A and B are shown apart, each in its own frame.
Chain A
């Protein structure tokens, strides 16, 4: 029965509807796979009892012809989404024992549509990281290895557990969040599909906040179609999130297979970084050729402020984080470390509760917002952000339908290899993805091929606001041309 885990989400859906197997069997196959893959450290909480109960309910619905869009499909959820009565930690010591009394809007949408919860997935602490190495539960080990090597690799981050679990076939799909690349970079590192929708498309309510003007939820899946199915359920207006958009949600799956003939695809020259790895450069060219072969027209475009996106991000995101994370004071929920007085209690709680990277980002954010520095750093960064967004708007105004770039500057790296001395080394991972968050645009990462060392590489497509459909159509063309990639099982 273990081969049930090889099915894509859509194949599993079809199998359930055709009664080839039950939701209970499908869920059990995934629960067994999770047990055998504990070495990957992808899950931080497994919920087998809840999963079996949800699968049983799904079987009843399937049996009476009342199946909902995700009926019986077992998913993993990043441990940044509040799940009612189920520990939600943000993979931080600060929230290690936090049990929400409410459900995040995105996960509520998934359960409304019949999905089954397998457990909560590992991530970088408070989503701050690009390698899943800052989690209090330890790093996730990528299911991928370099050809002929046993060196453990990072799955990327911050949604590293989500990406690894989907690539290792521990769930049919997963949910993550993306603030600077935290869906698209791990999707690329694991040879799977991940989409960060337009800012406002998915509700942020009930997601542990990192940088509120940048955070968006999105799905991970092994195919473009699967990702489209998941986003259709996740997205939608939510009165509880004032930045959630009140627009109808298209059926994204219907965009799969749409013709891309005549679409103009921007190839931004500023993304051709000096020293870009040869295999990444080659993949990018393949991507453009595949889209051309399907009738689209790749054209060179300019996004002149690209190089300023990452430095501006490292002002805006920590500033918002310092404000958002001020709530962790040891009073209302989360860790409390006793002190001499209330201030001492705050300081000890926050020193012990937050890991090194989180403390660092809170401090830099505090600094750039402090009296005398606010204009020089924060206001300037927000002005640069306006310019970054205008770059994209200019492209779209000139008839560009979407923009094609590499998803990451390199393939996955080894655990402990990056960022030990200089945090900026790690930050550079997000150089191609962070622009998209700064401009609030949708971006999808789709596998394009393997690196010289046999590791997956991804392509990124960036779309117009709320035009995820075009991204799904284009990504599907790339998927058709490039094929799909799965790691050789070693765990």
Chain B
């Protein structure tokens, strides 16, 4: 199932990656090379096979539902590109 230029733009939008017009053709070629490579999976009989959900069989750990961490707002904001007090700053999203 090769992708066309329109699909490349759609994927780029879904992935939130800006793609310039002149990049589309190369990306299309590369993505199609990868898709052609994975195409061979269609010859495998997977009838009745369970998809893997856990590589090592283990029960997901549970713990008491209580706060174990917190009070580290300064740490969390330390690498923020833009902040004010204990808030991350972003461009206006609501008019």
Contact = CB atoms under 8 A, between A and B. Distances in A.
Interface of A: 97-99, 101-102, 198-200, 213-214, 239, 242-243, 245, 305, 307-308, 310-312, 314-315, 322, 326, 329-336, 338-348, 350-351, 354, 359-360, 362-364, 366-367, 370, 373, 376-377, 379-387, 389, 422-424, 427, 438-440, 465
B67 interface: no
Nearest to B12: A363
A393 to B, nearest CB: 11
Secondary structure call for the A interface: helix
A427 B38 CA distance: 12
Contact of A307 (B19, B35, B40): B40
Nearest to A339: B91
Contacts of B44: 305, 308, 380, 383-384, 387
A332 B78 CA distance: 9
Interface in B48-78: 49-53, 55-56, 58, 60-61, 63, 72, 75-76, 78
Given A333-B81, A342-B93, A360-B30, 4 more contacts: A307-B40, A308-B44, A331-B88, A362-B17
A366 B30 CA distance: 15
B25 interface: no
A243 B80 contact: no
Nearest to A322: B15
Contacts of A424: 33-34, 37
A383 B44 CA distance: 10
List 6 A-B pairs, minimum CB-CB distance, nearest first. Answer: A440-B55, A333-B79, A382-B51, A336-B81, A351-B18, A347-B18
Contacts of B38: 311-312, 314-315, 377, 381
A187 to B, nearest CB: 22
B17 A384 contact: no
A326 B90 CA distance: 17
B5 interface: no
Contacts of B14: 366, 370
Contact of A242 (B15, B19, B30, B61): B61
B52 A351 contact: no
A360 B27 CA distance: 7
Nearest to A382: B51
B16 A381 contact: no
A389 B15 CA distance: 31
Nearest to B15: A366
B88 A343 contact: no
Contact of B11 (A245, A311, A334, A363): A363
A243 to B, nearest CB: 7
B56 A348 contact: no
A336 B61 contact: no
Given A347-B17, A359-B17, A423-B30, A367 B3 contact: yes
Nearest to A366: B15
Nearest to B93: A342
A424 B31 CA distance: 10
A414 B75 CA distance: 43
B49 A367 contact: no
Interface in B1-24: 1, 3, 7-8, 11-19
A99 B78 contact: yes
Contact of A200 (B58, B63, B78, B88): B58
Contacts of B40: 307-308, 311
Nearest to A387: B49
B49 A242 contact: no
B56 A243 contact: yes
B91 A341 contact: yes
Contacts of A344: 18
B41 A380 contact: yes
Contact of B17 (A99, A350, A367, A438): A350
B50 A334 contact: no
A188 B92 CA distance: 51
30 contacts: A98-B79, A99-B78, A99-B79, A242-B60, A307-B40, A311-B39, A315-B38, A326-B16, A331-B81, A331-B88, A332-B88, A338-B91, A340-B91, A342-B92, A345-B91, A346-B16, A347-B13, A347-B18, A350-B18, A360-B31, A360-B34, A363-B8, A363-B15, A366-B11, A379-B51, A380-B46, A381-B38, A382-B52, A383-B50, A465-B56
A347 B56 contact: no
Contacts of B39: 311
